[in-house]
Structure 1
């Protein structure tokens, strides 16, 4: 296992960037005239008091060598059909409006060209427009940002910066992300975009403590570890949900804050992922094989964490607003905690998949005081009715705020429940005392010894649950 000492060594040699004052009123990042800037940098303007975002005007970036226009943000273009994430969650395929769109990891997303937090306006250029070894000038038309007498920059020589001459050298296996621009990359997405698809040696992306407000999406990469400097100090998040980024006709979901699709042999360790919107709003969506989550904190809303494939989770915490685990995958949870409103999981195990969500030595807390472990709503009309192969198994689980019925509701027409695994063994309260299971839903089952010794031995073995994969935490 690589030590965090590597991170300290890398950071000790990283380049620092200082802010410069433009006039007496604002600070620019990168500073005017800054050198060795990362091409994935975000542009920031800090004012004496919070600015407001205008509804017109252009932000342009030029290559200073030939005055070529590199990128444009047009503030008259709406961000989304639901710019505050509170509109319809259904796709409107007749809508022909142009919205602010960014290509992230190969997929199109609606996005905010500017986000204001406190006194700082962060400008998000379109991804991968800047290059190494170039000098760029920025113009901002009046009306883009409103604060005091700020009138923007009409000349592309008013705010210039130069990027690093080159990126990480060929064969590099460890890179560092720092929000202040002092390392190899300034954004998590920038480092992931750099990582090769199928490296011969494992790649590790180290994220320095900081707040990384960015929408992260990537696909088809292998042999990759993303590791934060500290679980509570390294925060990656974005305001996103199914209203802000409604479904397209095809392709992956666009509503998570952080998503990986079609990946293999990936590990996320020691950082926090937040989705800042309510609704159908995952903190994380994983679609992959042999994925490890270790010492992670996930804060989502409805469907707070969606799973596909095979996933091993240890010493982590998920908070959600209902169906907090939308489970299509085979997932082994160890020493982890879920705090959830309403139903903790909606597990959609299919027959061929064999296993669903298995919790061993975990803690589950119902935040409303009368919540359930899993629900199976009526899904007639082309969808597998009630997911009759759904599997949620709790072994040595501490609980609070769970209704006496424990499971459900299971709704809709009668169906064959003989393959349904809503199982518990030794469910306890937070003090370790057995809970009353006498009112549990009739399609659930209490496991016991010695009768179920074989089942318990199998389901406490991640290799059995994860289809023959023996996970190793790096």
Structure 2
């Protein structure tokens, strides 16, 4: 037998780091290390190779409880991740239910997901959420072919020679209100979703989730929680990302959209601060969906595709940056924007304000069209959704600077039939990036320029967040 075909596996533990050596694959670094104790149950398993690995199309990853060898979780690589693996297909709502795909329950909602994601030389394995619990030892079996190496082989682990680790004896103590998320396992949780699942639904006091600097690749879904503060350790260094969109996770007519990286549903009195959210797929690919009351975004960076930031309820956005691929803000709610920058390759917003509430109010903001032909907001005819447009759409600009916006500024506004007399596309003192007044002589005829002293009462109202947000006066925790 040729020597190159002989596989020799040696497991060694050096300074807490397990390396699996075989003569073809070289060293494989495991996280958590083989034999490790005090592991968080929400851990993602990582294998780092000397060269970039690839993902197989067959084989299983099985996890057993060592106490009784009961199978607690399994990932079958022969099952496709989604009806549109790369998010470039077109799938009708509910059609995906006819076929079996990789499914994970996240925050109580089903999502399609990637069981393994490869970044550079590291394969990250995503077990199903909440399958591991505290105080148990787990054995991981990885069948041959699950992970492949160019010019080498990785034969995985067997039940007789498994990857083994033990979870912490218990979670955060009762009554604790501040927890830490750290991808390296040094916090109370490894994942943001793990911390959100732990957080009480309606606590009397604020619950704080601090995210240690690092990269977190996960879909996050939070529903029916309140008095929650989720914040990065130091602004700009914490990044949350995932490849997701409406083709990878098609809409479900019986529930909320599933195409975002980070979603809030039915939440209240919540603030997120000082981290970045990235959606890596094209199309309808929200980075953030907010559905709730009294939600604050402070010092956030939101980067997505179409509808990068979708809003329902009452929201206050402060000192943040939003980037998207057209209709960058899809707005159903009342949102007060201050000192925030939005960059869009198409229309900045598609504002769908229902009757009886305020819409999007921008004060001292920056609205940038990246290709030089963007509009501030549009109301296109939308027969696909059976809508009679949005006759009470409201978007107000006060002391806001713009660039790359067409001379018409707004539109298209379409019907038929459509009465636009109640639409409020209003501006006051719109400037260019250098602070010089914009020429508004060619603005779309449904829009309006506010002027003093005639419109003094409107300007007083729109400069006051509480008047826009139904009496709520938002106060950021770390201004």
Structure 2 CA distance for aligned equivalents of residues 445 and 378 of structure 1? 21
Question: Is 1:458 matched up with 2:461?
Answer: yes
Distance in 2 (CA, whole Å) between partners of 1:414 and 1:135 is 65
Structure 2 contact 81–112 (Cα < 8 Å) conserved? yes
Q: CA deviation at 1:141?
A: 0.3
Q: Structure 1 residue 250: deviation in Å?
A: 1.1
Matches of 1:202 and 1:405 in 2, distance apart? 46
CA RMSD of aligned residues (A): 1.3
1:177 match: 181
| Equivalent residues of 1:231, 1:297 under 8 A apart | no
The alignment covers a number of residue pairs equal to: 457
Query: Aligned-pair distance for 1:375?
Result: 0.5
* Cα distance, 1:166 vs structure 2: 0.5
Asked whether the 8 Å contact 1:137–1:156 carries over to 2, the reply is no
| Residue matched to 1:263 | 267
Contact 1:138-1:157 within 8 A present in 2 as well: no
Report the counterpart of residue 49 of structure 1 in structure 2.
51
CA distance in 1, matches of 2:398, 2:358: 15
Alpha-carbon distance in 2 for matches of 1:87, 1:393: 36
| Distance in 2, Cα, partners of 1:91 & 1:189 | 26
Equivalent position of 1:346 in the other structure: 350
Alignment of 1:392-407 (within 5 A): 392-407=395-410
Q: 2:416 aligns with which of 399, 409, 413?
A: 413
How far apart are 1:270 and its partner, in Å? 0.3
In structure 2, distance between residues paired with 1:408 and 1:356? 16
* Displacement of 1:200: 1.5
Residue 71 (structure 1) aligned with residue 69 (structure 2): no
| Cα distance per residue 1:11-31 (max 9 Å; x no partner) | xxxxxx953212251000000
State whether structure 2 residue 364 is matched by structure 1 residue 366: no
Matches within 5 A, 1:207-356: 207-352=211-356, 354-356=357-359
- Where 2:92 maps in the other structure, the secondary structure is coil
How big is the shift at 1:419?
Answer: 1.1
> Secondary structure of 2:467's partner?
helix
Q: Distance in 1 between matches of 2:325 and 2:96?
A: 31
Q: Which residue of structure 1 aligns with residue 8 of structure 2?
A: none
Cα offsets for 1:233-292 (capped at 9, x unmatched): 100111000000001231000000100100000000000011111100100000000000
Displacement of 1:341: 1.0
Equivalent in the alignment of 1:88: 90
Aligned residues of 1:85 and 1:244 also touching (Cα < 8 A): yes
Per-residue CA shift, 1:211-249, capped at 9, x if unaligned?
000000010000000010123210011100000000123
Determine if contact 1:138/1:156 at 8 Å carries over to the other structure: no
Write out per-residue CA displacement over residues 369-390 of structure 1, whole angstroms, 9 at most, x where no aligned residue: 0110000011358744221100
Using a 3 Å threshold, how does the CA distance of structure 1 residues 364 and 156 change in structure 2: closer, same or farther? farther
**CA 1:18–1:182: 2 relative to 1, 3 Å:** farther
Seen in structure 2, the aligned counterparts of structure 1 residues 258 and 237 have a Cα distance that, compared at 3 Å, is same
Per-residue Cα deviation, 1:2-59 (whole angstroms, up to 9, x for no partner): xxxxxxxxxxxxxxx9532122510000000001000000000001111110000000
Runs (4 or more) in structure 1 with deviation over 3 Å come to 379-384
Q: 1:131 to 1:400 in 2, by over 3 A?
A: same
Structure 1 residues 358 and 89, CA gap change in structure 2 (3 angstroms): farther
Deviations 1:309-355 (A, max 9, x none): 00001000100000000000000000000000111100101113x21
Is 1:113 aligned to 2:128, yes or no?
Answer: no
Whole-angstrom distance in 1 between the partners of 2:57 and 2:419: 56
Structure 2 unaligned runs (5+)?
1-14
Contact 1:334 1:359 in 2 (8 A): yes
For 2:144, which of 136, 142, 145 is the aligned residue? 142
| Distance in 1 between residues matched to 2:383 and 2:398, nearest whole Å | 31
Preserved contact between residue 398 and residue 430 of structure 1 (Cα < 8 Å) = yes
CA distance in 1, matches of 2:202, 2:248: 33
* Match 2:393 to one of 390, 393, 401: 390
Normalised by the size of structure 1, how large is the TM-score? 0.95
Give ranges in structure 1 of 5+ residues lacking alignment: 1-16
Maintained 8 Å contact 1:60/1:71: yes
Separation (CA, whole Å) in 2 of partners of 1:344 and 1:268: 22
Matching of residues 189-208 of structure 1 within 5 Å: 189-208=193-212
